[in-house]
A and B are shown apart, each in its own frame.
Chain A
């Protein structure tokens, strides 16, 4: 499954970069994330429960690895999630571009392999679910960003 698109954050690029590397923020913003912790240099691990409406795509042990990082411009995210209903693996390439002084445009392109029970019967909805979750996650991140920026000077600097 390929998901690509653009999203504009209401904040400066360095702030966005920070945000995208904060496991606590990611855990709050990314749909279905139950836990997410930094377990090593640029490696995060946690648990996600993915579902839509009455459907659950199960619980996944997820490892996220950040590679090819060029702060604050781009990085690649390698995802490996496994659970009893199958797996989701793949990588996403993320680029951040300044759009004026206070906005950041993100370009993302991800290639995700979805396998197992979900893959065999969920194909009709995967595209919509993938797009929906991406949108939901990015919007939640933007909210986090705004909250952080409104939280006063210094709160997100550094």
Chain B
């Protein structure tokens, strides 16, 4: 279990890194925390000719408040995001989901941007950031300041994103929660820290009458990428998010998805788990929006 030969570059500046990516494109692979890429290389299931290590570049990590919410540097470790008071305050859904991301040892090394750019269908961060309506800044040699990509356009299937081979993800912007809104995350995995068999990030926004002004759920591990359930707003808009309405929404999601099978869960079981988790997370999100479930 040793990787095939590769060239290792560790640029000191973003400009240098962008030059390397611009020059080598598909042959180069950025190395952030290395928690997915390095094992894949050791298994010889990934064989980039050049690794561009981003660890030495200043300014890519950190969490700050912006006008509309949070800006999270792509190289911010998952552990830092997990422990950040700013994240807890301004993105409680992200805060709730962080402990589900693998294990503490992995979160110590793994980065927010790495997880987003990797776009594993079982990853928590893509689903959560999609549910939150986040956007991503991608920089390149030609456009060092970067361009912004909405989460809705960013994820394009199995390990596929809107990033071009020359681009680096540099920042994630997360809007602050709306008034009278609540969110919840839950997933089902064999052991804590495993790839989830199904997971849901849910957001509910209520109007003054306590009906759903907006409700959405994104799922992980049920499709080839983070999956936005159309059925949730379709079923819940204008409804009071309680008992039967939530069960109807969950059943509609179960009918909407076409999950894959693997040794841990058949498509049927995944569908069932998704239904249970959608119902539970939407219920909890609605409770939080009403203020009667602890954040």
A53 at the interface (CB under 8 A from B): yes
- Give the contact-size bracket for chain B: 20 to 34
B29 partner residues in chain A, CB cutoff 8 A: 54
- Is the beta-carbon distance between A118 and B158 smaller than 8 angstroms? no
A117 partner residues in chain B, CB cutoff 8 A: 43-45
- Is the beta-carbon distance between A132 and B122 smaller than 8 angstroms? no
Known A-B contacts A53-B158, A53-B160, A54-B37; the reply to A121 vs B195 at CB < 8 A is no
Alpha-carbon separation in the docked complex, A106 to B84 (Å): 53
Interface centre among A54, A56, A85, A123 (most CB of B within 10 A): A54
Alpha-carbon separation in the docked complex, A131 to B258 (Å): 11
How many A-B pairs have beta carbons closer than 8 Å: the answer is 55
A129 partner residues in chain B, CB cutoff 8 A: 158
Alpha-carbon separation in the docked complex, A123 to B43 (Å): 14
- Is the beta-carbon distance between B45 and A118 smaller than 8 angstroms? yes
B158 partner residues in chain A, CB cutoff 8 A: 52-53, 125, 128-129, 132
Alpha-carbon separation in the docked complex, A132 to B121 (Å): 13
B238 at the interface (CB under 8 A from A): no
- Is the beta-carbon distance between A54 and B121 smaller than 8 angstroms? no
Q: Find the A residue at minimum CB distance from B46.
A: A54
B195 partner residues in chain A, CB cutoff 8 A: 124
Per a CB cutoff under 8 Å, which of A121, A123, A126, A128 touches B45? A121
- Is the beta-carbon distance between A128 and B48 smaller than 8 angstroms? no
Segment with Cβ contacts to A, from B102-110, B144-152, B175-183, B260-268:
B260-268
A55 partner residues in chain B, CB cutoff 8 A: 40, 45-46, 159
Q: Is the interface of B mostly helix, strand, loop or mixed?
A: loop
Q: Is the interface of A mostly helix, strand, loop or mixed?
A: helix
Q: How many residues of A contact B (CB 8 A)?
A: 21
Alpha-carbon separation in the docked complex, A126 to B262 (Å): 8
Which B residues from 66 to 116 make CB contacts under 8 A with A? none
Which A residues from 98 to 139 make CB contacts under 8 A with B? 117-118, 121-129, 131-132
B40 partner residues in chain A, CB cutoff 8 A: 54-55
- List 19 A–B pairs whose Cβ atoms lie within 8 Å, in order of A's numbering: A53-B119, A53-B158, A54-B40, A54-B48, A55-B40, A55-B159, A85-B44, A118-B45, A121-B45, A124-B122, A124-B195, A124-B264, A125-B121, A127-B260, A127-B262, A128-B260, A131-B224, A132-B158, A132-B224
B binding-site residues for A, Cβ under 8 Å: 29, 36-37, 40, 43-48, 118-119, 121-122, 157-160, 195, 224, 260-264
Top 10 A-B residue pairs of the complex, sorted by shortest distance between their CB atoms = A53-B159, A127-B260, A128-B260, A54-B46, A128-B224, A55-B45, A124-B262, A52-B158, A127-B261, A55-B46
A binding-site residues for B, Cβ under 8 Å: 52-58, 85, 117-118, 121-129, 131-132
